[in-house]
A and B are shown apart, each in its own frame.
Chain A
Amino acid sequence: MGEDARALENDAELIARAQGGEVEAFGELYQRYLDLIYRYIRVRVAEDRVAEDLTEVVFLRSFEALGRYKERGRPFSAFLYQVARNLLVDHYRQKKEEVSIEDANQMATSAPTADERVIQSERVREIGHALTSLPSDYQEVIRLRVIIALSTAEVAAWMGRSEGAIRVLLHRALTALRRRLVESDE
C-alpha cells in the first residue's frame, strides 16, 4: 500500500469517528492539515492574523459540513481546500478588499534591509501583478504547484482534474506568466 493510500485510509477512519461526533478525531485531522490550509490561505491574504482566523473558520465549517462529506477517492485535503476557497470568496466579498498577492508576500518576508526591501518589493509586486493578471485556473495551478509546492497528484485532486491536465495547465500557466513578465519589463 502506498503512502497516499495509507493516508487516505487513516483519514477515512478519523473522518468516520468525527462524523460520529468525536471532536478529538477531528482534532487529529486538524493537526494533520493545519499547515497546508494555513499556507494556502496565507498566500491569498495580507496578514498572518487574518490567515489564522480564516484557517480556524475553515475547520469549523468543515466540521459542520462533515455529515455531507463523501470520500469518493479524493483526499480529505481536497474537501478542506474547497471550503477554504469558498471562505476566501466570502471573505473578499464581505471585506470588499481584494488583497493583492504581492502585498501578502511582502509582509511575509523576514526583516530585510531597507535597500533589499525596495528591490525585493518591486520584484514581488511585478511577479504578483503578472500572476494576478492571468486566468484564474492558471493562477491557481501556480499557487498550488509552484508557490505551495504541492505534488501534481495533490493539485489534481484539489482542482478536480487529471494529473495530465494539471501538467498541461502548469506548462501553459508558466508560459503565460513568463510572457506577462517580459511584457512588463519592456
Chain B
Amino acid sequence: MNDKMNGSMPEILDRCLSRNQSGTATIKECLQEHPEHAQTLATLLGIAVEVHSELAPPEPGEAFVSTAKTRLLNRLRAAQKGTPRAEARRARRLRWARQPAYILASVVLALGLLVMSAGVARASGGALPGDALYGVKRTIEEARLALTWTATGDAALLTQFIDGRLAETEALLAVGREDDLGVSLAGYEDMLARLIDLADQTPISGGPGSLEHIQASLARHIQTLQRVQVQVPPAAQEAISNAIDHSNRGQEVIEYVRSGGSPSDLAPGQLKKTPGQPEGPPEDRGLGKDKDKTPKPKPKDETPEPLP
C-alpha cells in the first residue's frame, strides 16, 4: 500500500490508535502495514499507549453508581418544586416553541413568505415599527434564524438584527415617531437575551458570530444608545437606560464566558431582568402613548453571581 492509499501521517496515526484501542490490531501489525512511517509511528503510538496506561482514570466506584442516580433524581425533584412560576412559564413557552409541528409550520410559513413575497420582503427591509410591512420584516428575520443550523450562524444573524433594531430606533427619532420606540427597544432586548444564551456555543475569535465580534458590536451599541439617550424625550429615557444596562450585562456575560464560564452558570433570567426592574416590555415602561408619565428611577445594577 502506498502513502496515497493510506492517507496522511495524522490519519495513519489516528487509524492505528483506534485499532489498537479496539484490540483489532497491535502496534507491531500497524508498523508492518506502514513501513515508510514505522519509526515515527512506533514513537508516537508508544507514547500514546504509555500515557493511557499511566494516566487512565479508574471507573466510578460501585457504591457511587448504585446510589448516585437516586440521590440526583431526589435533588432534581426537590429543585423542581422550588422553581419560580416565571421560570415555569418560560420553560412552557420554550417547550411549545420546540414542538416539531411548530418548527415545521414556521419553516413552511417562512419558505412560503420567502418564495411568494420576494418583492414584499425586499420592500419591508426599510420598514420601521408602526409601518404596515414591519411585521413582514420581523417574520423574515425569524425565518432566517429558523433556517440557520449552527449557533455561530444564529449569533451572527442575531447580531445583525440587533444592529437593525438600533438603526430603527435612530430612524424613528429622526422622523419624530417616539411613540414607536418601545417596539424597536423591546426587539433589541429580546434578541440580545437570545444572543447571550448562545455565548458558550460560539467561537472566541473569528468573523461574525464570534465572541470578539459580539463584544465589539455590544460596545458599539452602548455608544449608540448613549448618544440616542440624550435625544429622546424624558419619558423614553428609562427604556434607553434599560437597554444600556442589558448591553452592559451582556458584555459582562461574554467576558465571563471568555474566561471559561458559561451563561448556564448564571442564575436563570439573570441577564434578562435586574432585580427591582419593572415587569413588561419597554412600551409599558415609560414609552408609548403615556408620554407625560414621570420616568421611574433607574433600577440598581447587580453583578451576576454564579450559581452555588
Contact = CB atoms under 8 A, between A and B. Distances in A.
B85 interface: no
24 contacts: A16-B98, A19-B94, A20-B95, A21-B80, A30-B72, A31-B69, A34-B65, A35-B59, A42-B57, A60-B72, A60-B79, A65-B262, A67-B90, A83-B264, A105-B56, A108-B58, A145-B17, A146-B17, A147-B52, A152-B18, A166-B14, A171-B9, A174-B13, A175-B44
B76 A38 contact: no
Contact of B59 (A39, A104, A124, A166): A39
B90 A178 contact: no
Contacts of A61: 264-265, 307
A181 interface: yes
Contacts, number: 168
A89 B261 CA distance: 7
Contacts of B68: 30, 34, 52, 55-56
A168 to B, nearest CB: 5
A171 B10 contact: yes
- Chain B interface residue number, banded: 35 or more
Given A23-B73, A86-B200, A90-B265, A149 B52 contact: yes
Nearest to A88: B260
A68 interface: yes
Question: Chain B at the A interface: mostly helix, strand, loop or mixed?
Answer: helix
Interface of A: 16, 19-21, 23-24, 26-27, 30-31, 34-35, 38-39, 42-43, 48, 51-52, 55-56, 59-61, 63-65, 67-68, 70, 72-73, 82-83, 85-86, 89-90, 101, 104-105, 108, 110, 120, 123-124, 127-128, 131, 142, 145-149, 151-152, 160, 164, 166-168, 170-171, 174-175, 177-178, 181
B18 A23 contact: no
Contacts of A68: 197, 263-264
Nearest to A94: B306
Interface string B186-221: 000000000001001101000000000000000000
Contacts of B260: 85-86, 89
A178 B94 contact: no
B55 A147 contact: yes
B47 interface: yes
B149 A72 contact: yes
Interface in B35-68: 43-44, 47-48, 50-52, 54-61, 64-65, 68
Given A30-B72, A167-B13, 14 more contacts: A19-B91, A27-B72, A34-B69, A48-B61, A55-B68, A56-B75, A64-B268, A68-B264, A72-B151, A86-B200, A105-B55, A120-B54, A127-B51, A170-B13
Contacts of A23: 73, 76-77, 80
